[in-house]
Chain A
Amino acid sequence: MRVGTFLALYNSDSLRKCIVMHELSIAQNIVEIIQQRIPEPGWKQVTAVRVKIGAVAGIVPDSLKFSFQAITAESALCNARLITEQIPFRVHCRTCNTTTENEDGFSMCGECESTDIQVLSGTELHVVEIELEETEQVL
C-alpha cells in the first residue's frame, strides 16, 4: 500500500523535507486557485475543496492534506478542508480493445500485455469544486 511507502520515507529527514516541500508547493497552488475563484469576503465560508489525484501523479494525499492545513490554519481559509479523490491508473489497449487498471503505472495492457495503449486516467491533479457555507459560521 502507498501508506507504507509514505511512512518509510517519512522516517528519513532529508526525504521528509523533500516530500513536504513538494506537497507544500502543490497546496499553495490550490490555495491560489480558491482565492482566484472566490472573492475575498467569502474565504471564511469555504468549508471544503475537492481535489482529484491520479494514482501515478506523484502526490501523497495525506501529505497534501497536511500541507494544506498547515498553510491555511492561520488564514481566512482556516475553515476549509481538503478532500481528495484518488483516480485509478487506467489504460485502453488498442490491440485487444479492453480497458484495464494497474497500481504501478505500467504502460501495458493488463490482459494481453500489449504496449500499444492509451492512458485514460491516473495522471491528473485537478481542483474539482469548492464548497461554501452560505452564512457566517462560528466555530
Chain B
Amino acid sequence: MSIITVERKVLEKNDELAARNREVFRTSGVFVVNMVSSPGSGKTSILERTLEYLKDSLRVTVIEGDVQTDLDAQRVAKFGVPVVQIITNGGCHLEANLIQDALGTINLKGVQLLIIENVGNLVCPANYDLGENMKIVVASTTEGDDKPLKYPGMFRNASALIINKIDLLPYVNCHLEELKNNALRINPILNVFETSCTTKQGIAEWCMWLKEQVTSKK
C-alpha cells in the first residue's frame, strides 16, 4: 500500500474562482455584499427597502439566487435596478462559478454596489466564498433567538446581522437580547441592526451603515 499526501482544501476550486471574482470586483471598483439567511426571514423585503433608500445615491446591481422561479428578480426589477436571476434547480446555495457566469451578463462599469441574495438556507452558503467583500446574515424574530447557536457557521463569517421583523416581537417567542448575545458569542465583532420592513424601523440606520462601507472602501 502507498500513501499519497495531498493536503488540499476540499473547496479550493470554488475558492480559486471566488478569488478571480474578487479581482474582477476590485478592478471594477464595485463593493459586493452576499446576503444569507434561512428561507422566509425577509432578505428580499430588506433588499427592496434598501433599494428604495439607496438607489438614488448609489448605483446598485442585484444578483438573485433561488432554487426555482424568478419571482424575486421581478420584485427587485420594479425598483429600476439591473437584476440577474440565478436558478439553481435544486442546488441549495450559490457557488463562485455561478456568480462568474452571471457576471457575463452584467455591465459592472459604474456600479458601486452589487448585492447578491443567496438561496435561503442557513447551512451551505457559509462554506462557499463568492468573492464578496462581506456577508450579511438576516435572522428574523419569528425564527426564535437560538438560530446563531444552531447554525454558527453562517454567523461566524458575517460582518453584519440584521434582525428583521422587529415589529412582531410582542407576538413571538423571541428574546431580542438573547438573540443578540447568542450571535455575539459566535462572532463578537458583528454589527447588529434591528429592522422592520413593514414599519421601516431601522432601515435608514442599516442603509447608512452599508453606504458608509461602500464609500469608505474606495
Co-complex (A, B): yes
Q: Which residues of A contact B (CB under 8 A)?
A: 17-19, 21-22, 25-26, 29-30, 32-33, 37-38, 47, 51, 56-59, 104-108, 115, 123-134
Is B186 close to A, CB under 8 A? yes
A29 touches B153 (CB 8 A): no
Nearest-neighbour CB distance to chain A for B191, whole angstroms, equals 15
Find chain A residues with CB under 8 A from B13 CB.
29, 32
A105 touches B10 (CB 8 A): no
Contact with A along B145-182 (1 / 0, CB 8 A): 00001001100100000000000000000000000000
Question: A38-B4, A106-B185 known; A126 and B10 CB under 8 Å?
Answer: yes
Can you name the residue of chain A whose Cβ is closest to the Cβ of B6?
Answer: A127
Nearest-neighbour CB distance to chain A for B148, whole angstroms, equals 10
Pick 23 A–B contacts, CB within 8 A, sort by A. A17-B92, A21-B92, A21-B124, A25-B91, A26-B127, A29-B10, A33-B10, A58-B124, A59-B127, A104-B149, A104-B152, A105-B153, A105-B156, A105-B186, A106-B186, A107-B188, A115-B184, A123-B156, A126-B9, A127-B7, A128-B5, A131-B1, A132-B1
A58 touches B126 (CB 8 A): yes
Q: Residue A107 contacts which of B3, B123, B149, B187 (CB distance < 8 angstroms)?
A: B187
Is B90 close to A, CB under 8 A? yes
A132 touches B4 (CB 8 A): yes
Told that A125-B127, A129-B7, A133-B1 touch, could you supply 15 new A-B pairs with CB distance under 8 A? Answer: A18-B92, A18-B123, A26-B11, A29-B14, A37-B6, A56-B153, A105-B156, A107-B187, A125-B10, A127-B6, A127-B9, A129-B6, A131-B1, A132-B1, A134-B1
Question: A21-B91, A47-B1, A131-B1 known; A126 and B186 CB under 8 Å?
Answer: no
Find chain B residues with CB under 8 A from A108 CB.
185, 188
Find chain A residues with CB under 8 A from B152 CB.
56, 104-105
Find chain A residues with CB under 8 A from B149 CB.
104
Q: Residue A129 contacts which of B3, B11, B123, B188 (CB distance < 8 angstroms)?
A: B3
Find chain B residues with CB under 8 A from A17 CB.
90, 92
Interface size class of B (residues with CB under 8 A): 20 to 34
Can you name the residue of chain B whose Cβ is closest to the Cβ of A89?
Answer: B152
Q: Which residues of B contact A (CB under 8 A)?
A: 1-14, 90-93, 95, 121, 123-124, 126-127, 149, 152-153, 156, 184-188
Interface centre among A21, A32, A59, A108 (most CB of B within 10 A): A21
A18 touches B121 (CB 8 A): yes
A56 touches B156 (CB 8 A): yes
Find chain A residues with CB under 8 A from B11 CB.
26, 29, 125
Q: Residue B123 contacts which of A22, A29, A32, A124 (CB distance < 8 angstroms)?
A: A22
Q: State in angstroms the CA–CA spacing of A22 and B95 once bound together.
A: 11
B153 touches A21 (CB 8 A): no
A127 touches B8 (CB 8 A): yes
Q: State in angstroms the CA–CA spacing of A19 and B12 once bound together.
A: 21
Q: State in angstroms the CA–CA spacing of A129 and B7 once bound together.
A: 7
Q: State in angstroms the CA–CA spacing of A58 and B91 once bound together.
A: 17
Nearest-neighbour CB distance to chain A for B181, whole angstroms, equals 11
Q: State in angstroms the CA–CA spacing of A59 and B186 once bound together.
A: 17
Find chain A residues with CB under 8 A from B126 CB.
58
Q: State in angstroms the CA–CA spacing of A77 and B12 once bound together.
A: 21
